[in-house]
Amino acid sequence: VHVVTVNDYLARRDAEWVGQPLRFLGLTVGVIQGGMAPEQRKKAYRCDVTYVTNSELGFDYLRDQMAPSPGDLCLRERDPFQFAVVDEVDSILIDEARTPLIISGTASSNPEKYEVAREVAKALRKRVHYKVDEKARNCVLIEEGVVAAEKLVNKDDLFDPQDPWFPFIVNALNAKELYVKDKQYIVKKKEVMIVDEFTGRVMEGRRWSNGLHQAIEAKEGAKIQAESVTLASISYQSLFRLFNKLGGMTGTAFTEAKEFDQIYKLKTVVVPANRDRKREDLDDQVYVDDIGKWKAVARDVERFHSVGRPVLIGTTNVENSEIIAELLDALGVPYQLLNAKPENVARETEIIAASGRKYAVTIATNMAGRGTDILLGGNCSMMARMQLREKLYVELFPMKRAAWIMPEGFYPVDLSESVMTKVEEAVRTTISRWKPSVSEKPTSLDAAARIVDSELTELEVEERLSLACEKAPTEDETVKLLRSVYQLILAEFKDFTDLEKQEVVALGGLYVVGTERHESRRIDNQLRGRCARQGDPGDTRFFLSLNDSIFRIFGGESIKNMMGMLSLSRSDDTPLESGLLSNSLEEAQKKVENYFYSVRKNVFEYDDVMDTQRQIVYGLRRQALIDDDESIRKTMREFSDRNMDDFVDGNINESKPLTDWNLEKLAENVCIYCDQLKKSVTAEALVEAAGSGGPAGKESLKNFLRKAAVEAFDEKIETIEASGKGLSGLVTRQVLLMQLDNFWQQHLKNMDFMKTGVTLRAYGQKNPLTEYKLEGYQVFLKMMSRVRRNAVYNLFLFTPRKLKPLTADRLEELIPDRQTRRRQLQQLQAMKKQAPEWARDSQAETDGKKLSTVNLARLALNVRQLLRAREELGELALAGFGELRDSFSRAGLLTLGDQLRWAKSCADFELLEDDSGQEIYVGFRSRTVSMPAGEGQSKLELADEKAAEEAVQNALNDEDFMQTIDDYTQSPEAFLQKMKESAEQEGWTPEDVRRLRGMYKASGVDIDVMLAEMDEASENLPPAQQEVVKYMKELLATDSGTEAPVKKELEEKVKL
C-alpha cells in the first residue's frame, strides 16, 4: 500500500503517527524522504505500507524505467502499484496534474545566446514589439518585434534551423515579463530555484524545460547551466491510473467531483463533520489598488494583535509576504515569516507550533498547501518535543548548534528545576549510549567498525526521538528514558497552553486573513480551513484589489469598466461593496477553474496517447531487465523473425510475377543486416525458396529467412558464451536496454515536437488530438521497428575482446620521447586554430588550461570516483581512454603519450588494452597487502586512502587554498621557504612522510617517481625548482625525523 502525501513533513509525520498501530498489527511501515540513499528507498518500498510524496513516487518510477540493472530498481520488481491512498487528493490529482513529471539529461550548452537574448529582450518594448498573454503564460513576438530582433542579433532569419534565435528570444521575454523573482522562483547562492505554487516550498533539483530556466539564469546573472533533454516523462493522471485500486481524502474535493469521475473513475462521497463548525467567513474587502489593500490588511492585523488574538496572514508568493512584513515592521507588530526562502523554511516546525498562541502573528505563503494544524494556545506536544530535541541535538550534532536552539520566548514556560535536572541526566545517558567516545582511538579494525556503525545521522535520531515522543510499545531502554522526561516536559507545557487556549477562544480564536483570491474556490476554502478546527471558533476575511491577477486576467470587460469608474470615484482606503463586484468575482473564479480544467484535460488527453506507447516500451524494458537469459533470447528471436518479415514486405510485392521480384536486392539488404548470413542467403537460395511466387512464395521466403536468421543468432550466442559463461545473457540484455533507451528518448523528442506543430491543424478544420493520435501511432510503429532491427544488428556486430595488462615494454613502445610529444602537442594546437569558430568556442575552456599538479589531482579523483561507482554497481571498474577524452583535455593531457605517462604515475591505477590493440583502459591495481597483518590491515589502508581523497577533494574546493597553490606555482622560492619552516619548526617524523605520500597518492601522483623524473631532467628546471626537488627528496628520505620544541597536529602539518 502506498500512502501518498504532498510533502516530506506529512509523509514522515503520518508514518510516525499511523505507523504505530500498523506495526502493532505486524505490518512493516516505510517512509520515503527527499535525498534518501537508493538502498534506503528500496527497503522502504518493500514494506507493507509506504508513506511517500507524489513527486518522489513519480520520479522513482521514472528512474526505474532508466535503471541499467535489476539491482538499481527502487520499486518492487513485479507489480509495484497495487493500492494507493492519497492524502490531500485534490492537491495532487487536480492542482499538480497540469504539469507532467520529467527527468532530463544535459544537452548542448549555449550560454552566449541566452545572454544576447537577455539584452535583446531588454531592448524590445511591450505592446510595440510583443504581446503578453498572462492566461497562457507566454509572450508572442509580433511582426515589428521579429524585424527589430533580427537587426539586434544581426541575422536575416530568427527561424533559421541551422542557427535558430527565436526560442531564445521568446524565453528571454517570458523570463522578463512572466517570471518574477520571489514569486515563481528565488535565487539562493547564485542558483535559480523554483518555488512550488501550491505549497510555497522550494523545489530542490527541479528545473523548467525548453530553455526557460537558462533564460531566467541569464536574467539573474547566475551561472547558465547546460540545456536539458527529456529522458523520461509521465503525467500524474497516467501515474496514478497505474494503481489497481485508488482512493483518497481531502476536505475540499466536492467541487471537483466531475473531474475525479471523468479522469480517474473515482466517486466523491461527502463525510459529515466530526463537530459543528463555528467559523465565520466575513465579507470580502475589495480596494481600488494594491496600496489601499495592503494598508487595510496591516490595520486589521494591528487591531486584533493589540487585544492578543492570533492572526494568520496568507499570501500567494514570497514578494507579497515581504510587503506585509515591512508594513507590520512600520507599525511595530511582531510576526513570524514563513515563505520559500531557506532561512524561513528551516524554521517551519517552530513557527507552526507557536502560531496559535496569544499575540502570535504569522505570515505564510500558500498556507493551504502545508497540511498542518494550528492549535489554539500553542502545540504543547510539538514544543515539548522540540525542547527535548534541542537538548539532545546540541550534544549529538554540535556543528549545527545554532539550528537547534529555539529563539527566546518560544517555549510557553521555563521548566522547573527538578524537571530540567532529569532532562539533563536523561540526555547525558542517551549521549553515552548513542555517541561513541572520541577520546579513545580504535586499536583494531573491529573497534573502528563499531565507531563508524554507531555514528547516527539526523534522520535516524529523528526516528528514535519520534518513537520516544509517542506511545508505541518499545523494549529500548534509552527510548523509554527519553519518553519519561518527554512526558514531564509535556505536562508542564500543557498546563500553560490549556489556560492560554481558553483565553484565545474567548478572544474569538484564530483570525485568518487572505490577501488575494486563488485560482480556485477550493484553495480559498483550504486557507479558510486553517482556523476553527475541531469545533474551535475562528474568523476569516479576504482583502482584494482590482489589480489582483484573478480580476486582471479573468475578470472580463465588466471588471475593467468598473475599475475605470471606481478608481475615479473612490479613495484608496475605502473598500468597494457591490453585488455586481461579488458576482463578477465568483464568475472570474469559475472561469479560472474551467480554464485550468481544460489545461489538465488537454495534458491528460495528449499524455493518454503516450501512455499506451509508454506501457509497451516500459513493459519490454522491465522484461529485459528482470527476466532470465533464456526469456531475453526468446524475445530477440522474435525480433529476428519480425525483422525478416519487414525485409520481405519492404522488397517483395506478391501481386507481381516472380520475375519482377528483386531477390538480389533482398539478399544484399539481409546480408548487410547480418554478415553471418552471406553464405546461406544468396539470390539463388531465395529463388529456390520463393517457388512459383505469389502469396505462398512470399510466405515461403519469410520462413526461409526466419530459419536462417535464428540459426545465425544461436550461433552468435554460442560464440559469445564461449568467451565467458553468462556473457551472452549480459550482452543481449544490455544491447536491448541500450536500443530501447536511445530510441525512446528520441521518440519523446519527436512526439513533443509533433504536439507543438499539430495544433496548427485546427486551421484546416481538423481535430489536433485525432491527428496527433494517428501520426503518433505511425511514428511509434517505426520506432519499435528500429528498436527490433538495431537490437539484433548490434548483437551480430558484438565481438568479445579480452583485456591484458600493458607491459613495461609495451608502454615504452606507446610513449614517445619528450621531443616527439612536444611536436604532437604543437600539431594539435595548430589544428585547433584552424577549426571552425563554433568548435573553437567549445574548446576555449580547455585551451587556456595549463598542465599542473592541481589539474592532474582533479583528474585522478574524478577517474577514481567513476571506477568506484561502477564497482558499487557490480559493473567492471574500467574506463576507456576514449571515454575519458574530455577529462584528459580539461586536465591539459592532449596527447596519448602524456595520458599514458600520467596513468603510469598513478600508484593505484593499472593500464590494460584489448587483444586488438584498439583501446586502452584504466582500472584499479589489485589491492593486495602483505601478511601477517591480514585482511584487517588491507581495510585500514583503504580507509586511510579514502580519508586522504576526501582531504584532497576539500582542498581543491577551497578557493583560498587554490589561490595559495597558484601563488606558489609562480614562486618556487616562496614554496621552498614555507616547506622549510614547516619541517624545521614543527618537526618532521616518519608518520608525516607516510601521510604526505598518501596525500600525493590520493592526487594521482607517485611523488617518488615524479621527483626522480624531475631530478633526471633537472637541467630543464629553473634553479629554484631544482632546490625544491632536492629538499623534498631529503624530506621523503627521513627515517627518524626531527623533533621540534612545539608539535602541532599531524593533519595541520601535512596541510602546511
- pLDDT, position 931: 30
User: Residue 397: helix, strand or coil by DSSP?
Assistant: coil
Q: ∠ CA 944-947-951 to the nearest 5 degrees? A: 135
The one-letter code for the residue type at 670 is V
Q: What mean pLDDT do residues 985-998 have?
A: 73
Cis check for the bond before 805: say yes or no (omega within 30 of 0): no
User: In this model, does residue 459 exceed pLDDT 50?
Assistant: yes
User: In this model, does residue 755 exceed pLDDT 60?
Assistant: yes
Least confident of 89-93, 184-188, 820-824, 863-867: 820-824
Listed ranges 75-84, 206-215, 848-857; the one with the highest mean pLDDT: 75-84
More confident site: 31 or 34: 31
pLDDT in tens, 875-925: 678 888 888 888 888 777 878 888 888 888 777 788 888 877 678 888 887
Read off φ and ψ for residue 679, nearest 5 degrees.
-75, -40
**Exposed / middle / buried, residue 977 (Cβ in 10 Å: 0-12, 13-18, 19+):** exposed
Mean pLDDT of all residues belonging to the chain: 81
Q: Ramachandran region of residue 233, left (φ > 0), alpha (ψ -120 to 50) or beta?
A: beta
- pLDDT, position 492: 93
Q: ∠ CA 797-801-806 to the nearest 5 degrees? A: 145
CA distance 285 to 293: 8
CA distance 222 to 216: 8
Grid coordinates of 245: 485500486
> 439: pLDDT confidence band, cut at 50, 70 and 90?
very low
- pLDDT, position 1007: 75
Least confident of 334-343, 391-400, 489-498, 947-956: 947-956
pLDDT in tens, 260-302: 998 899 999 999 888 888 899 888 888 888 888 999 999 999 9
pLDDT in tens, 806-824: 888 888 888 877 677 677 7
> 847: pLDDT confidence band, cut at 50, 70 and 90?
very low
The DSSP element (H or E) to which 315 belongs, if any, is strand 311-315
- pLDDT, position 691: 84
Give the percent of the chain with pLDDT over 70: 83
> 1041: pLDDT confidence band, cut at 50, 70 and 90?
very low
CA distance 952 to 945: 11
CA distance 145 to 161: 19
Q: ∠ CA 454-457-458 to the nearest 5 degrees? A: 140
Of the candidates 1036, 954, 951, 1041, the residue with the CA atom closest to the CA atom of residue 997? 1036
In this structure, are residues 139 and 178 in contact, taking their beta carbons and an 8 Å threshold?
yes
Beta strands in 316-456 (DSSP E): 336-338, 361-365
Strands 83-87 and 2-5: parallel
Of the candidates 929, 1045, 1029, 899, the residue with the CA atom closest to the CA atom of residue 985? 1045
**Exposed / middle / buried, residue 34 (Cβ in 10 Å: 0-12, 13-18, 19+):** middle
CA distance 893 to 846: 10
CA distance 759 to 752: 12
User: In this model, does residue 1054 exceed pLDDT 70?
Assistant: no
DSSP states along 723-740? TSTTHHHHHHHHHHHHHH
pLDDT in tens, 103-153: 877 666 678 899 999 999 999 999 899 999 887 788 999 999 999 999 999
C-alpha 936: how far from chain center: 38
Q: What mean pLDDT do residues 247-260 have?
A: 86
- pLDDT, position 360: 93
pLDDT in tens, 818-842: 677 677 777 766 665 555 443 444 4
Grid coordinates of 1013: 623524473
pLDDT in tens, 689-733: 888 888 888 899 899 999 999 999 999 999 888 887 888 888 999
- pLDDT, position 88: 86
User: In this model, does residue 29 exceed pLDDT 90?
Assistant: yes
The DSSP element (H or E) to which 923 belongs, if any, is strand 920-924
DSSP letter at 185 equals E
More confident site: 1007 or 354: 354
Give the percent of the chain with pLDDT over 90: 27
- pLDDT, position 934: 36
User: In this model, does residue 230 exceed pLDDT 60?
Assistant: yes
- pLDDT, position 908: 76
Least confident of 213-227, 556-570, 599-613, 912-926: 556-570
Q: What mean pLDDT do residues 52-69 have?
A: 91
pLDDT in tens, 479-520: 999 999 999 999 999 999 999 999 999 999 999 999 988 777
- pLDDT, position 558: 62
In this structure, are residues 1034 and 979 in contact, taking their beta carbons and an 8 Å threshold?
no
CA distance 990 to 1043: 11
- pLDDT, position 926: 64
Which residues does 740 contact at the CB level (< 8 Å), separation at least 6?
A: 617, 620, 621, 624, 787, 791
More confident site: 578 or 329: 329
In this structure, are residues 92 and 236 in contact, taking their beta carbons and an 8 Å threshold?
yes
- pLDDT, position 842: 40
In this structure, are residues 5 and 53 in contact, taking their beta carbons and an 8 Å threshold?
yes
Q: What mean pLDDT do residues 334-353 have?
A: 75
More confident site: 487 or 79: 487
> 160: pLDDT confidence band, cut at 50, 70 and 90?
confident
pTM for this entry? 0.69
Q: How far is CA 886 from CA 710, 843, 910, in A?
A: 41, 10, 20
